[in-house]
């Protein structure tokens, strides 16, 4: 504070006095506010420790233990070293599940992004019915995932399924396709269902990003004679790139986790053709009661998902550091 | 073609493209609604009818009454009780999310604390953790503390969907509240707690509703924790009921369709009455958080 250097003018005098008089009170109010802040945060910190930190740590512990149905009621089981990880490494279904998860994730993201971006561009044009259309686009996002799974199981049935019926009526195929019973085709069913499910998210986020592109920038590009494709590639995409990155990142996180949809649609079958890490881990833990092996596979998934963490934190860096607190 | 005609044709083309996209997007929902009114014979006839064929309420009677039309016996009980269970779990998740998230988001936005960066980073990372990882461990932890097969355990687990999201959305909202309002309340002598619940919470009403809607839908639609935490205890949400109707060898399609439609009802109602909150929640959660 500037008490010593205070100029002798009459206006500064009272201000300096106020600061000095206020100092002890401020200190106590600062303390009071810190205490209040901690109290407001306490339930959240307790919850995060209990529902996220504890399970993650415990999952790592489990993956090094020899579990059996008998050890479930105990908190710990005998040490197993790397046996569970060795099992995952040699288990053909686990390896397939990892490959399937990668294929499923990359395929879903590519299609969701292309379709979602096209719809976002479409809805940012002016035409009758755009508002109603935009609000209906989010419908798939709101359904319970298990319901989406069973709807697509219904539609992909060979006999009496809507999809075969359309394909036959249009003349693309002549005999019902065994979508759900043919191991080489089943991956398409979960891909189609997941793409359908994720498009609204991409559409909505990219649409709102497009709204934030300043009109002057777009107009300037038109005046400069840029073609629509050039405008998109050279002007619009660079501006909304941060949103594209966040959207792809969150899309990745959602897709790696998918479980309900596959259980409802194929149950991981036929012949494990649609077994993902999540569904196979469920099988290992809750069907075979081999929690250690399930936990080891979970950790593979966790590492895959957490690849996104540093990027996510970096993309959120502005919001992270931000604080508009009145308290100093 | 004149300029006017060309722009008119373009608009028509856009409308047609949007209609085509919406047909694809909405068709699956239409298919389950139509399917839920079909008789068992129609569902197993090998033909899909674009419009209800001999519509009947049998499936809903089956699902709400408890007897399976396909096998003439009780499969997994009636969904009537399950609806109550799902409502309770959804409401419980919403209450838990609000109790934990509203004060936390306030502290993380309006108080200058050293832990803020650590807590917000943990919440961002928490959003990434797959539920199956949590479910496997929580099952054993809950076994240990006797929370398996309980509403409390299920709601605590379902909170993992809602709480990180809720805190980040509410925090983004609180940034938009002017500090002067909070300072004014303090100058008037209000305690920190009174400032929070008499000034801040009422102003945050719309964000609180958004968060509550999403938390409710997360609890209502949860399947993975219900599947892993509940095993034949009588507590069975609608989602688990649907799964049980699927069966291992034969699917009772009528019952699956009708309970699927029932499971869509809250989302449908909320889409109509809380559209504004849903759209804002979907965008706020990811970009502005």
Q: Is position A275 within any domain?
A: yes
Closest chain B C-alpha to A141 CA, distance in angstroms: 9
Q: Are A268 and A280 in contact (CB under 8 A)?
A: yes
pLDDT the model gives residue B8:
85
Distance, first Cα to last Cα, chain B:
48
Give the number of other CB atoms < 10 A from CB of residue A182.
Answer: 15
Give the number of other CB atoms < 10 A from CB of residue A69.
Answer: 10
Pick from A225, A3, A56, A227: which is nearest to B135 by CA?
A: A56
Q: What distances in angstroms separate CA B176 from CA A321, B201, B282, one per listed residue?
A: 16, 13, 18
pLDDT the model gives residue B181:
86
The rounded distance, in Å, linking the Cα atoms of B76 and B238 is 11
Q: What angle do CA B158, B165, A31 make, to 5 degrees?
A: 110
Minimum Cα–Cα distance from A125: chain B residue:
B14
pLDDT the model gives residue B1:
59
ipTM, 2 dp? 0.89
Cβ B28–A148 below 8 Å, yes or no?
Answer: yes
Q: Is position A243 within any domain?
A: yes
Q: Is position A117 within any domain?
A: yes
**In b/e form, how buried is each residue of B264-287, taking b as 16+ CB within 10 angstroms?**
bebbeebbeebeebbbbbbbbbbb
Closest chain B C-alpha to A5 CA, distance in angstroms: 29
Closest partner residue to A160 among B46, B220, B227, by Cβ?
A: B46
Cis, peptide link before residue A270, omega less than 30° from 0: yes
Count CA atoms closer than 13 A to A3's CA, side-chain side: 7
Q: If you average pLDDT over residues A87-112, what whole number do you get? A: 95
The rounded distance, in Å, linking the Cα atoms of A190 and A268 is 10
Residues of A in contact with B184 (CB under 8 A): none
The rounded distance, in Å, linking the Cα atoms of B204 and B186 is 18
Handedness of CA A56, A61, A65, A70 (dihedral sign): negative
Q: Under DSSP, is residue B222 helix (H, G, I), strand (E, B) or coil?
A: coil
Q: Are A264 and A150 in contact (CB under 8 A)?
A: yes
User: Residue A131 class from Cβ within 10 Å (0-12 exposed, 13-18 middle, 19+ buried)?
Assistant: exposed
pLDDT the model gives residue B96:
97
Most confident of A67-76, A123-132, B146-155: B146-155
Pick from A291, A255, A277: which is nearest to A61 by CA?
A: A291
Q: Does A327 touch chain B (CB under 8 A)?
A: yes
Q: Does B228 touch chain A (CB under 8 A)?
A: yes
Token pair in block for residue A296 = 């080891």
Closest partner residue to A44 among B31, B104, B239, by Cβ?
A: B104
Closest chain A C-alpha to B87 CA, distance in angstroms: 14
Cβ B32–A328 below 8 Å, yes or no?
Answer: no
Q: Under DSSP, is residue B250 helix (H, G, I), strand (E, B) or coil?
A: coil
Q: If you average pLDDT over residues A223-229, what whole number do you get? A: 85
Distance, first Cα to last Cα, chain A:
15
Q: Residue A10 — left, alpha, or beta (φ > 0 → left; ψ -120 to 50 → alpha)?
A: alpha
Q: If you average pLDDT over residues A192-199, what whole number do you get? A: 95
Q: Is position A84 within any domain?
A: no
Q: Does A120 touch chain B (CB under 8 A)?
A: no
pLDDT the model gives residue A280:
96
> Could you read off the pLDDT of A271-303 as tens digits, one per residue?
999 999 999 999 999 998 889 999 999 999 999
User: Residue A60 class from Cβ within 10 Å (0-12 exposed, 13-18 middle, 19+ buried)?
Assistant: middle
Q: Is position A87 within any domain?
A: no
Tokens 């009537």 correspond to: B80
Which domain CATH number covers A191?
Answer: 1.10.3720.10
Q: Is position A224 within any domain?
A: yes
Higher pLDDT, B73 or A47: A47
pLDDT at residue A7 is higher than 50: no
3-state secondary structure A67-136: CCHHHCCCCCCCECCCHHHHHHHHCHHHHHHHHHHHHHHHHHHHHHHHHHHHHHHHHCCCCCCHHHHHHH
Residues of B in contact with A315 (CB under 8 A): none
Residues of B in contact with A43 (CB under 8 A): 99-100, 103-104
Residues of B in contact with A150 (CB under 8 A): 32, 242, 246, 256, 260
Closest partner residue to A162 among B31, B127, B260, by Cβ?
A: B31
Q: Does A119 touch chain B (CB under 8 A)?
A: yes
Higher pLDDT, A241 or A72: A241
Cβ A146–B271 below 8 Å, yes or no?
Answer: no
| Count of domains for chain A | 1
Q: Is position A34 within any domain?
A: no
Cβ A48–B108 below 8 Å, yes or no?
Answer: no
Residues of A in contact with B116 (CB under 8 A): 323
Closest partner residue to A205 among B26, B163, B286, by Cβ?
A: B286
Pick from B132, B98, B136, B135: which is nearest to B216 by CA?
A: B98
pLDDT the model gives residue B66:
55
Q: If you average pLDDT over residues A124-149, what whole number do you get? A: 87
Q: Where are the alpha helices (DSSP H) in B78-189?
A: 79-110, 116-128, 131-144, 151-175, 179-187
The rounded distance, in Å, linking the Cα atoms of A321 and B121 is 10
3-state secondary structure chain A: CCCCCCCCCCCHHHHHHHHHHHHHHHHHHHHHHHHHHHHHHHHHHHHHHHHHHHHHHHHHHHCCECCCHHHCCCCCCCECCCHHHHHHHHCHHHHHHHHHHHHHHHHHHHHHHHHHHHHHHHHCCCCCCHHHHHHHHCHHHHCCHHHHHHHHHHHCCCCCCHHHHHHHHHCCCCCCCCCCCCCCCHHHHHHHHHHHHHHHHHHHHHHHHHHCCCHHHHHHHHHCCCCHHHHHHHHHHHHHHHHHHHHHHHHHHHHHHCCHHHHHHCCCCCCCCCCCHHHHHHHHHHHCCCHHHHHHHHHHHHHHHHCHHHHHHHHCHHHHHCCCCCCC
Residues (pLDDT < 70) of chain B are: 1, 66-77, 232, 248-249, 279-289
Pick from A159, A146, A29: which is nearest to B131 by CA?
A: A146
Q: If you average pLDDT over residues A51-59, what whole number do you get? A: 94
**Greatest C-alpha distance within chain A:** 98
Q: Is position A26 within any domain?
A: no
Closest partner residue to B286 among A125, A150, A246, by Cβ?
A: A246
In which domain, by residue range, is A114 found? 92-320
């Amino acid at each position: 504070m500037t008490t010593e250097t205070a100029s002798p003018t009459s206006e500064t005098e009272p201000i300096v006095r106020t600061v000095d008089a206020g100092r002890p009170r401020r200190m106590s109010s600062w303390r009071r506010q810190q205490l209040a802040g901690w109290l407001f945060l306490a339930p959240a910190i307790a919850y995060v420790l209990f529902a996220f930190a504890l399970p993650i740590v415990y999952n790592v512990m489990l993956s090094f233990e020899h579990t059996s149905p008998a050890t479930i009621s105990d908190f710990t089981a005998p040490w197993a070293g790397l046996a569970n990880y060795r099992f995952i490494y040699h288990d053909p279904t686990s390896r397939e599940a990892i490959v399937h998860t990668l294929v499923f994730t990359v395929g879903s993201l590519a299609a969701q992004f292309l379709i979602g971006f096209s719809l976002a561009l479409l809805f940012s044009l002016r035409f009758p019915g755009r508002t109603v259309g935009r609000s209906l686009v989010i419908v798939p996002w709101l359904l319970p995932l298990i319901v989406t799974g069973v709807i697509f199981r219904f539609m992909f049935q060979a006999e009496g399924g809507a999809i075969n019926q359309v394909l036959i009526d249009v003349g693309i195929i002549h005999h019902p396709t065994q979508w759900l019973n043919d191991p080489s085709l089943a991956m398409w069913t979960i891909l189609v269902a997941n793409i359908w499910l994720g498009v609204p998210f991409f559409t909505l986020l990219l649409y709102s990003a497009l709204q934030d592109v300043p009109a002057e920038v777009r107009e300037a590009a038109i005046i400069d004679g840029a073609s629509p494709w050039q405008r998109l590639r050279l002007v619009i995409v660079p501006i909304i790139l941060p949103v594209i990155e966040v959207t792809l990142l969150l899309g990745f996180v959602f897709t790696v986790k998918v479980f309900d949809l596959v259980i409802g649609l194929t149950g991981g079958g036929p012949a494990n053709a649609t077994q993902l890490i999540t569904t196979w881990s469920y099988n290992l833990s809750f069907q075979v009661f081999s929690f250690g092996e399930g936990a080891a596979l979970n950790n593979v998934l966790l590492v895959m998902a957490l690849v996104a963490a540093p990027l996510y934190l970096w993309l959120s860096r502005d919001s992270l550091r931000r604080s508009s607190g009145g308290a100093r | 073609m004149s300029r006017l005609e060309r722009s008119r044709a373009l608009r028509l083309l856009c409308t047609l493209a949007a209609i085509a996209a919406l047909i694809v997007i909405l068709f699956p929902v239409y298919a389950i609604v139509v399917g839920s009114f079909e008789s068992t014979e129609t569902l197993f006839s090998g033909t899909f009818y674009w419009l209800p064929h001999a519509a009947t309420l049998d499936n809903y009677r089956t699902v709400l009454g408890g007897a399976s039309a396909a096998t003439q016996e009780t499969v997994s009980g009636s969904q009537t009780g399950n609806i109550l269970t799902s409502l309770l779990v959804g409401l419980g998740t919403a209450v838990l999310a609000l109790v934990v998230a509203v004060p936390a988001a306030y502290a993380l936005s309006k108080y200058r604390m050293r832990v803020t960066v650590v807590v917000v980073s943990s919440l961002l990372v928490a959003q990434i953790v797959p539920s199956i990882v949590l479910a496997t461990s929580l099952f054993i932890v809950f076994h240990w503390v006797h929370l398996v097969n309980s509403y409390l355990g299920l709601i605590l687990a379902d909170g993992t969907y809602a709480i990180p999201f809720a805190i980040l959305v509410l925090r983004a909202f609180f940034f938009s509240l002017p500090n002067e309002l909070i300072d004014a309340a303090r100058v008037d002598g209000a305690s920190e707690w009174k400032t929070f619940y008499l000034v801040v919470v009422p102003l945050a009403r719309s964000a609180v509703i958004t968060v509550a809607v999403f938390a409710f839908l997360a609890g209502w639609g949860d399947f993975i924790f219900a599947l892993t935490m509940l095993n034949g205890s009588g507590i069975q949400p609608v989602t688990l009921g649907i799964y049980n109707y699927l069966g291992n060898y034969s699917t009772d399609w009528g019952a699956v369709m009708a309970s699927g439609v029932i499971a869509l009802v809250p989302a449908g109602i909320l889409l109509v009455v809380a559209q504004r909150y849903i759209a804002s929640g979907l965008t706020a959660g990811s970009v502005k958080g």
